[in-house]
Structure 1
Amino acid sequence: MRPRTPNRALIGLRTELGLSQEQYAELVGAEVRSVRGWETGEVTCPQARHLARLYRLHGVNHPEQLGFLPRRRAGSAATVGHTDPSEADVLRRDILGLAAAAAFTNAVAAPVARLLAPWQHTRTPAVGAADVARVQQTNQTFYDVDFLIGGGALRPDVLLEQFRKAAGLLHGTFAQDSTREELYSAVAHLGSTVGFMLFDQGQHLDARKVYLASLQVAQNASDMWPLRSIVLSELARQCLHLGEYTDALELLHIAHGGDDEITPTAKAMLHAVRARVHAGRGDVAATDRFAGLAEEEFGHSKPVDDPSWITWFDRAELDGEIGHAYYALALGRKQRATQAADRLSRAVARHGPDQARSKALALTKLSKVRMVQREPGAAEDGANIALQSLDLYERLQSPRVREDLLSLRPLLRPHRHLPVLAELDARLVLVGRG
């Protein structure tokens, strides 16, 4: 047996942040025993979701920069019925295969089947228009809360239970086929919202279960392809967040299958997310290409033609998405920093009071871009911008915003002698302990 070699690089990075193993574990969404395993060398490379958070926290792009061995790519997607790996492992490794099966076949993965099961110990419900309206109202309420406060406003068990209750209606009896199709659409849209709120909380496995269930339900909805496009795009965003770039691109490729049935606004959103994925991979040319396609499609947008599920994607969101893509290049490749700052500044200026989370995320990324521009006064400017994001965060319940803010700390290290950066660092320490 090869003797374990302590990961001194990771130990050094953690201690530089002044964090205990317990605090560090909470910050990257891992268990304390996992952090111990990384540092002792027992684990030579973390799982993708932890690795992605470590990258953001320390501003690096490769496992070797954290003292780990290169991460091996998981094998190709297994079939839905495969039971050897644990349920969690399948959801992590085989999301592309599971998504394709959920969208295009009748095969139902075990975790999805439980979400879509009939209500127990109750009579088969008679479902009418009023039931559809209640599901739609629940979705609208969650949607508004998510944008205004963040996904953490509601506990995961509450979100999952509301989705289960709505999905239970699918097993009811319907007087009209049109009511059945409307209910399938309403439940799938609710799943899209619930999945995104769970994603915002960092509840990635539960989010994936709900997304897969929504794809399954969408097969019987009147707006099947638009639903597939929005759910697959959100699943791709989650993969992007976790550093699973290949899966993200494949999911977006599938989502474009509905191009004939979605509006230019929705197409612009898909192109913008693809720009972000390519930026995460460090592909400057592809990032520029898809940012341009997003702009081109958005130029054809007619808000009056957009369905309600895409109305959130306005000019501010487009600037934020493209700015986010260029931000990744600015930090990872030291390119497109000017474009990133310009786009993110425009997004910040355009975001309204009901887009507080989007504005906070844009502010945090803009602050990072300013800090790496190495211009006179850039570090102080970046710190002042980050303080604005912190002020917004105090009114939000979004673990994703918190994680993004805490990833600023490594960038502050060279400038902590400056008063405004010392103030920012002190406030971030409190956020990390909160």
Structure 2
Amino acid sequence: MPQPEKVLDPTSSPEAWFGNEIRHRRKAAGYRHAGPFATDLQVSVDVILKVERGIYRCPEDLALRLDDLLETGGLFTRAWGMAFGDADKRAPHADRTPPRPADLTDGRTGGSILGGGSPSAATRSPDPVPVDRRTLLAIGGLAIAAPLDLARLLTPATAPPLPERITPTEIRRLQDIAHGLHGWDNRHGGGGLIGQLSSSSIQWAIRLLSVDCPPQLRPDFLAAVARLGLVAGASQFDVHCHDEARLAFKVAVECAEEGKHWHLRAKGYSFLARQAVWIGEADDGLTHAEKGLVRSDRLTATERAMLHTARARAFGKLRDVQGTLAAVGAADDAFTQRRPEEDPPWMAYYDEAQHNGDTAHALFDLAVGIDTHDSTEAVTRFQRAVRGHGPGFERSKAMSCTKLASLVMHRGDPSEAVVIGNKALDLGAGITSLRAADDLRELSRFASRHPRLPETAILRERIAATVHA
């Protein structure tokens, strides 16, 4: 007597959602049992059953055959990358929940950037809000991942109710939340309450994608979700919640592509590139930047400069001197053609100070990684960035100042570097940013190479107190 099929929980993991969706669509197509279905797919019934239960990694070519047999319009091909595409890159501990760090806004001493805890590995995702992942809602042909904890945007107890239909009100709310988070994140960093709001906001936006939307509103709706995805992802990136950040950026790119919003698409790929470079995946970063430059004729000069800068940062991490210099040159050439009035509003941040800081970061990696490489240009660009960043961009100013101090400490006068480093600490007071904290730790390591200078020891003590390292 055949055993009853195991009840599936599609909310437990990306793989479980994928398997449950296969079973649901298999039965809808008339395949009551897995045997005939497996035969038509030219695969063993054992494989199908294990994939459906979420305990076996679906082969990529099987996703293609599933789409063909079930006539899904490419759903499983798109969903495969979200459910299984990053699995090969995960560290063995990637799916474990790390210890919850101390609250990022409380208990800080002396203008600290972060609360206690050891330095964060770039692959960890310390979750200020619990984010077990449910996955892959197939919405309007868009396969995306969504967290299981569709949690409390307004209260700790319940999520906001979903409307029966998307209206201009929901679009305005998405836009307002993105605008507010963007400003708070630039001023204060992505930690603490800002990180929690970012996480809850993108979860709410993802839930809204399941709601019916009138065709005439869908382009604006997708643009609003994409914009919020970029802002929320940036906040999560800033505190090393890399899985959540990558999810938000991918949602943004998918929504931008469906809505044919080329400017939002470019920004999404820029973020994916920068995140990949930050976590040591420079080749992937280069790929993302190149994707962003597809149909560059549809982008503004500022956006092209932004993406060429992302390429430069990838080449810099790869210690490719010629590639870095060529990409910096391309970024400079594009930036000279910049016309701010042509840029979308969210590109207003990319001014001369931002351009100098971003290109300086690429040149920094050459200067510290190749002793024979001249550091003068990187120093000059960091100095321009620090001078140019105005109110509202405290984090960028502090991080450029920290990098400048590290470069001078490594290649120049350590006493001068101490003065710059103390300025960076002053600028970063009150900023909750793990990226900024990592930069300060890097400065401390460079300072440790000058143990005979009392002022470097004092700087290191101040850094230790600031980041609670």
- Residue type of the partner of 2:169? A
1:108 aligned counterpart, secondary structure:
strand
The reply to whether residue 235 of structure 1 matches residue 264 of structure 2 is: no
Is 1:182 the counterpart of 2:220? The answer is yes
Deviation at 1:296, TM superposition (A): 0.7
Deviations 1:134-158 (CA, angstroms, capped at 9, x unpaired): 1101000000011111111435443
Task: State the SS of the aligned residue for 2:209.
Answer: helix
- Cα distance in 2 between the residues matched to 1:115 and 1:254: 31
Following TM superposition, by how much is the alpha carbon of 1:267 offset from its aligned partner in structure 2, in angstroms? 0.2
Choose from 284, 289, 303 the match for 1:252.
289
Contact 2:233 2:248 in 1 (8 A): yes
* Residue 462 (structure 2) aligned to one of 423, 427, 433: 427
Change (3 A) 1:302 1:432: closer
SS in 2 for 1:371: helix
Q: 2:333 aligns with which of 296, 308, 317?
A: 296
- Which residue in the other structure is 1:9 paired with? none
User: Is the 8 Å Cα contact of residues 308 and 330 (structure 2) preserved in structure 1?
Assistant: yes
What residue is the counterpart of 2:438 in the other structure?
403
Report the Cα distance in structure 2 between the residues aligned to 1:322 and 1:77, rounded to whole angstroms: 38
The 5 Å alignment of 1:198-217 reads 198-217=236-255
CA distance, structure 2, for counterparts of residue 328 and residue 121 of structure 1: 45
Residue 320 of structure 2: which of 268, 283, 294 is its match? 283
Question: What residue is the counterpart of 1:380 in the other structure?
Answer: 415
Query: Of 390, 394, 402, which residue of structure 2 is paired with 1:352?
Result: 390
**Contact conserved, 1:112 with 1:212, CA < 8 A, in 2?**
no
Give, in whole Å, the separation in 1 of the partners of 2:281 and 2:60.
14
Structural RMSD (CA)? 3.1
User: Which whole-Å CA distance do the structure 1 matches of 2:294 and 2:383 have between them?
Assistant: 33
Distance 1:309 1:182 in 2: 15
Q: Mapping of 1:104-183 within 5 angstroms?
A: 106=141, 108=143, 111-112=145-146, 125-154=164-193, 156-174=195-213, 176-183=214-221
Label 1:241 to 1:170 Cα distance change in 2 as closer, same or farther (>3 A).
Answer: same
Q: What's the CA shift string for 1:40-99, capped at 9, x where partnerless?
A: xxxxxxxxxxxxxxxxxxxxxxxxxxxxxxxxxxxx99976669x989745748xxxxxx
Hey, what's the Cα distance between the residues in 2 that align with 1:237 and 1:329? 17
Deviation at 1:394, TM superposition (A): 1.5
Q: Residues 257 and 82 (structure 1 numbering): CA distance in 2 closer, same or farther, change over 3 Å?
A: closer
Q: 1:424 to 1:143 in 2, by over 3 A?
A: same
Paired with 1:338 and 1:147, the residues of 2 have a C-alpha distance of 28
> Retained in 2: the 8 A contact 1:145–1:153?
no
* 8 A contact 2:184–2:194 mirrored in 1: no
Distance 1:425 1:77 in 2: 50
Uncovered stretches (5+) of structure 1, i.e. residues with no partner: 1-75, 94-100
> What number of residue pairs does the alignment pair up?
344
Map of 1:220 onto structure 2: 258
User: Equivalent residue for 1:327?
Assistant: 364
Contact 2:185–2:194 (Cα < 8 Å) also in 1: no
Q: Which amino acid aligns with 2:386?
A: V
Gap change, CA 1:182 and 1:419, over 3 Å in 2: same
State the distance in 2 between where 1:139 and 1:181 align: 17
1:395 CA displacement? 2.2
Contact 1:146 / 1:153 at 8 angstroms: preserved in 2?
A: no
SS in 2 for 1:417: coil
Residues 298-353 of structure 1: CA deviation (Å, up to 9, x unaligned): 11111111101211110001100111111111100121311111111111111112
> Post-superposition shift, 1:169?
2.7
Partner Cα distance (2:260, 2:330) in 1: 28
Higher mean C-alpha deviation, range 176-185 or range 291-300? 176-185
The whole-number CA distance in structure 2 between the counterparts of 1:121 and 1:143 is 22
Asked whether the equivalents of residues 162 and 208 of structure 2 are also in contact (C-alpha less than 8 Å), the reply is no
Q: Between Structure 1 and Structure 2, which shows a larger proportion of helix residues?
A: 1
Q: CA deviation at 1:409?
A: 1.9
For 2:400, the equivalent position in structure 1 comes to 362
- Secondary structure at 2:404 match in 1: helix
Q: Say which of 307, 315, 321 aligns to 2:344.
A: 307
Q: Is the 8 A contact 2:171 2:220 kept in 1?
A: yes
In structure 2, what residue type is equivalent to 1:143?
H
Q: What are the Cα deviations for residues 95-148 of structure 1, in whole angstroms up to 9, with x where unaligned?
A: xxxxxx99xx95736x4486999x999665232222211110100000001111
The letter of the residue matching 1:285 is Q
Q: Residues 206-237 of structure 1: CA distance to partner in whole angstroms, max 9, x if unpaired?
A: 111112222222233252x2222111110110
Amino acid at match of 1:134: R
- Once the two structures are TM-superposed, the CA of residue 253 in structure 1 deviates from its matched residue by 1.0
Over the matched positions of the two proteins, sequence identity in percent amounts to 29
Moved more, 181-190 or 364-373: 364-373
Uncovered stretches (5+) of structure 2, i.e. residues with no partner: 1-58, 62-76, 92-135, 152-157
Instruction: Tell me if structure 2 keeps the 8 A contact 1:115–1:213.
Output: no
TM-score after normalising by structure 1: 0.72
Whole-angstrom distance in 2 between the partners of 1:263 and 1:330 = 30
Alignment check: 8 A CA contact 2:175 2:224 kept: yes
Q: Give the one of 185, 188, 192 matched to 2:230.
A: 192
Contact kept in structure 2, 1:91 and 1:205, CA below 8 Å: no
Letter in 2 for 1:249: L
User: What per-residue deviation string (whole Å, max 9, x for no partner) do you get for residues 176-202 of structure 1?
Assistant: 533221011001110011001000011
Corresponding residue for residue 306 of structure 2: 269
